[in-house]
Structure 1
Amino acid sequence: MKSRQISDIIKGKANELGLQDCAILPVEYLAEDKAHLDEWLGQQMNGEMHYMARNREKRVNPELLVENAKSIVVVLQNYYPAHTQEDSSAPVLSKYAYGTDYHFVLKDKLKLLLQFINDEIASCSGRPFVDSAPVLERAWARKAGLGWIGKNSNLISLEHGSFFFIGELILDIELPYDHPKLVTDHCGRCTKCIDACPTKAIVADRVVDARKCISYQTIEVKGEMDDTLKGQFENRVFGCDICQDVCPWNLKSEPHNEQAFEPHPKLLQLNNEDWNTMERPLFNELFRNSAVKRAGFKGLKRNLKFLRDG
């Protein structure tokens, strides 16, 4: 097969799997991104996310993750919902957590893509990565020309906005590579995300102090949350979409068609009282396979109390 055919076949399969975008790149050492990571960690903006400081070299060198790594396939998965919570006074759940945990959904798709490449293109070894291993996903997606890094530090796509997950396949075979141009920064003078963040977590252009971030506080913090931030969460109970909701580029967002991301029928109907009186059986029913399991029932109750006390 010709190189173009191979590339088209792989991207066609990615599309068939419901992935929003796909690009193929040669692996390389991410020296520039390492410098940014080191500076961010040096200011301790990772807070309790100690795993960010571990395996630092692996984050910037794919060859330490997959032996003899040569290629990286970068994909996007839309998660923008068709419908959101009905009660405007209810605690707000981040849109990404409505359905089945994306780690499972996207990793399963990447495993199918890996098997397809093995069966149809060439025998190879590789690993799928979805936000749970030391890979600088946004850096690779930016290199792949899938978007630019916005002022809120999220990857923003000209076509899709930013409500998507990023996943990767790192393979030990050479593939026909894309030669993308870096997408120009289209944030311009807009500061809507910076202005809208209630805790002022976006401390500089494209620099988020995780310790002030609502997502970090409601998901990553294992003990007590920062009392100085009480009253500033704008009713966010797990995760936060504020900086994405106000982004003009997300006017382009279209609802996903991934069945696994559909919420439990009861979830969007919960009112304020339902959330605050929730017991473990209902929690288990609603969030059986959800990313909310990361906080757990006790964590969710802690978050709800923090909102009430604020």
Structure 2
Amino acid sequence: MSLKEKHTQLIKTEAKRLGFLSCGISKADFLEEEAPRLEKWLEKNMHGEMGYMENHFDKRLDPRLLVDGAKSVISVLLNYYPEASPETENYKISKYAYGQDYHHVIKSKLRQLQEFISEAIGEVNGRAFVDSAPVLDKAWAAKSGLGWVGKHSNLLTQQVGSFYFIAELIVDLELAYDAPVTDHCGTCTACIDACPTEAITEPYVVDGSKCISYFTIELKSSIPGEFKGSFDDWMFGCDVCQDVCPWNRFSKPHQEPLFDPHPELLSMSKKDWEEITRDVFQKVFKKSAVKRTKFEGLQRNIDFLKK
């Protein structure tokens, strides 16, 4: 076994020990296929008011501009599929936001992985990325063999579907690289057919400016009236394209206590949500990603959903 393979094995074993679903590694290089795709998506204004998507175009496509001397992108997946969900006849929030904010949970695990690499291998420079810098997570995860990007533009795996977070460690260490896996969407169009706002304009293309997640989280101005009645009761995020995906019948509940929902989250009724106070919001979403939309944002979303 070469030194590269030995180091790779050590990293993957430790990633598993830390609770990651899987770990894949690819060469830190320019993302050639993604460049024209991203350019076209931005030109068509599919990012809506997410102005930050236009920034750092080159850095999004080349990890060597983010980490000096970068040689490898270590991608990891962390399951967030919940054991239980609120009743169906209720306002809904995306499953990823049930528990504590994933940024903190994953960042802490990645730091541990980084420390392990330095202790076991020697001085390795690198940076951890959790959805917080211009990194194309799904592209790197697919390149690293962790799954394929489905028609709904989420990463998919045959074993566990798509309810997991993706994060990276970009390091200046050469490792053994994984090969991408094949696409298994076939002729299925379940996600395209089910999208309540028809945001999936064609297979593998999502118009972000029409997505319920965009309207309920990213959009700071008022939600366009033309979408009234088409939100399917989603008040924060949306899981429709993942819920209908046949591969998600293989999703298994996560084992991360920090992702467990606040007890009140599962017991609140529509009426409770409509009358939510700032205090209840602070208590139920104390460390949650829902705080991104703020109390006023959640109220705006609920008001929009009211019949």
How does the TM-score come out when normalised to structure 1? 0.97
The offset of 1:178, in angstroms, is 2.5
Counterpart Cα distance in 2 of 1:64 and 1:252:
37
Counterpart Cα distance in 1 of 2:278 and 2:243:
30
**For residues 176-187 of structure 1, what are the structure 2 equivalents within 5 Å?**
176-180=175-179, 182-187=180-185
C-alpha offsets along residues 266-299 of structure 1, whole Å, 9 cap, x if unaligned? 1111111111111001100010110000000000
Aligned AA for 1:259?
Answer: P
The offset of 1:4, in angstroms, is 3.1
Identity of aligned residues (%): 50
The offset of 1:45, in angstroms, is 0.4
C-alpha offsets along residues 146-186 of structure 1, whole Å, 9 cap, x if unaligned? 11111101110111100011000011222x21232x22111
* Number of the residue aligned with 1:70: 71
Aligned length: 306
Structure 2 residue 48 is the aligned partner of structure 1 residue 50: no
* Number of the residue aligned with 1:132: 132
* Number of the residue aligned with 2:166: 166
Structure 2 residue 202 is the aligned partner of structure 1 residue 201: no
Counterpart Cα distance in 1 of 2:242 and 2:288:
21
Contiguous gaps of at least 5 residues in structure 1: none
| 1:262 pairs with one of 232, 253, 260 | 260
How does the TM-score come out when normalised to structure 2? 0.98
Judge conservation of contact 2:24–2:178 (CA < 8 Å) in 1. Answer: no
Judge conservation of contact 2:61–2:135 (CA < 8 Å) in 1. Answer: yes
Aligned AA for 1:19?
Answer: F
Counterpart Cα distance in 2 of 1:26 and 1:192:
33
Q: Which moved more, 1:8-17 or 1:52-61?
A: 8-17
Structure 2 residue 15 is the aligned partner of structure 1 residue 14: yes
Contiguous gaps of at least 5 residues in structure 2: none
Counterpart Cα distance in 1 of 2:298 and 2:178:
45
Counterpart Cα distance in 1 of 2:161 and 2:302:
30
Judge conservation of contact 1:90–1:275 (CA < 8 Å) in 2. Answer: no
Counterpart Cα distance in 2 of 1:47 and 1:289:
27
**For residues 228-243 of structure 1, what are the structure 2 equivalents within 5 Å?**
228-243=226-241
| 1:278 pairs with one of 276, 279, 289 | 276
The offset of 1:132, in angstroms, is 1.3
- Aligned-residue Cα RMSD (Å) equals 1.0
The offset of 1:216, in angstroms, is 0.4
The offset of 1:88, in angstroms, is 2.3
Counterpart Cα distance in 2 of 1:50 and 1:294:
17
Structure 2 residue 288 is the aligned partner of structure 1 residue 302: no
Counterpart Cα distance in 2 of 1:69 and 1:171:
5
Counterpart Cα distance in 2 of 1:94 and 1:179:
31
Counterpart Cα distance in 2 of 1:56 and 1:2:
34
Counterpart Cα distance in 1 of 2:47 and 2:188:
26
Counterpart Cα distance in 2 of 1:9 and 1:105:
22
Counterpart Cα distance in 2 of 1:224 and 1:247:
30
Counterpart Cα distance in 1 of 2:3 and 2:155:
32
